Amino acid sequence: MENRSVFALDGITGMLIATVLLLTILGVLTTLGIKAQQSNASTFYKIENPKDIKMIDSANSTHYKLVK
């Protein structure tokens, strides 16, 4: 005789746990994304010597300065 239960982890309960888990992950990632965007939107920078910037160069990060 098989144990068939509506509330087993492979039934409604498992579906609800998976749904709540996915919605929680979505909420956390959305909140972190909004906070990251807000912090970068309020950080301004100024480009110095734009003519010296090369397409592929590791020294490109030295051409911009944060404005406080």
* Residue-wise pLDDT tens digits, 11-52: 788 889 999 999 999 999 999 999 999 988 887 888 888 888
Total Cβ atoms within 10 A of residue 52? 11
In a domain, 61, yes or no: yes
In a domain, 58, yes or no: yes
10 has a pLDDT exceeding 90: no
Residue numbers of the domain that contains 24: 12-67
In a domain, 20, yes or no: yes
Total Cβ atoms within 10 A of residue 25? 10
- Classify 48 as helix, strand or coil: coil
State the pLDDT at residue 63: 80
In a domain, 21, yes or no: yes
In a domain, 4, yes or no: no
- Overall pTM > 0.75: no
Please say whether the beta carbons of 37 and 31 come within 8 A: no
Selected residue with higher pLDDT from 67 and 4: 67
In a domain, 3, yes or no: no
1 has a pLDDT exceeding 70: no
Give me the number of domains the chain comprises: 1
- Residue 6 pLDDT class (50, 70, 90 cuts): low
In a domain, 60, yes or no: yes
CA pair distance 16, 13, nearest whole angstrom: 5
**DSSP 8-state symbol, 11:** T
